[in-house]
Amino acid sequence: MAEVVKRAYKYRFYPSPEQAEHLNRTFGCVRLVYNRALEARTRAWATARQHTTYVQSSTWLTEWKQSGELAFLNEVSSVPLQQTLRHLQAGFAAFWDKRSRYPRFKSKRKSRASAEYTRSAFRWRDGRLTLAKMSSPLDIVWSRPLPEGAEPSTVTVSRDTAGRWFVSLLVEDPTVKPLPPVDGDVGVDAGITALVTLSTGEKITNPRYERSDRRKLAKAQRDLSRKEKGSANRAKARLKVARIHVRIADRRRDHLHKLTTRLVRENQTVVIEDLSVRNMLRNHKLARAISDAAWSELRNMLEYKAAWYGRTVIVVDRWLPSSKACSACGWITQVMPLNVRSWTCQNCGAAHDRDVNAAKNILAAGLAER
- Tell me the whole-structure pTM to 2 decimals: 0.88
Arithmetic mean of pLDDT, 334-338 = 85
Residue 293 has pLDDT above 90, yes or no: no
For residues 201 and 356, is the Cβ–Cβ distance under 8 A?
yes
pLDDT tens figures, 106-118: 998 888 999 999 9
Give the tens place of pLDDT for each residue, 254-278: 999 999 999 999 999 999 998 888 7
For the chain, domain boundaries: 5-173, 179-370
Per-residue model confidence (pLDDT) at position 337: 87
- The tens digit of pLDDT for each residue in 185-240 reads 999 999 888 999 999 999 999 999 988 899 999 999 999 999 999 999 999 999 99
For the chain, give the mean pLDDT.
Answer: 93
> Mean pLDDT throughout 46-60?
92
**CA–CA gap between residue 34 and residue 165 (Å, rounded):** 22
| pLDDT, tens only, 67-78 | 889 999 999 999
Q: Please, what is the Cα angle at 89 between 52 and 171, to 5 degrees?
A: 150
Whether the per-residue pLDDT at 1 is higher than 60: the answer is no
**Positions marked catalytic:** 189, 273, 355
Q: Using CB atoms within 10 A of its CB, is residue 171 exposed (0-12), middle (13-18) or buried (19+)?
A: buried
C-beta separation of 173 from 150 below 8 A: yes
Per-residue three-class SS string for 52-100: CCHHHHHHHHHHHHHCCCCHHHHHCCHHHHHHHHHHHHHHHHHHHCCCC
| pLDDT value for 2 | 57
Mean pLDDT of 83-87: 97
Q: What is the mean pLDDT of residues 337-347?
A: 89
Say what the pLDDT of residue 88 is: 97
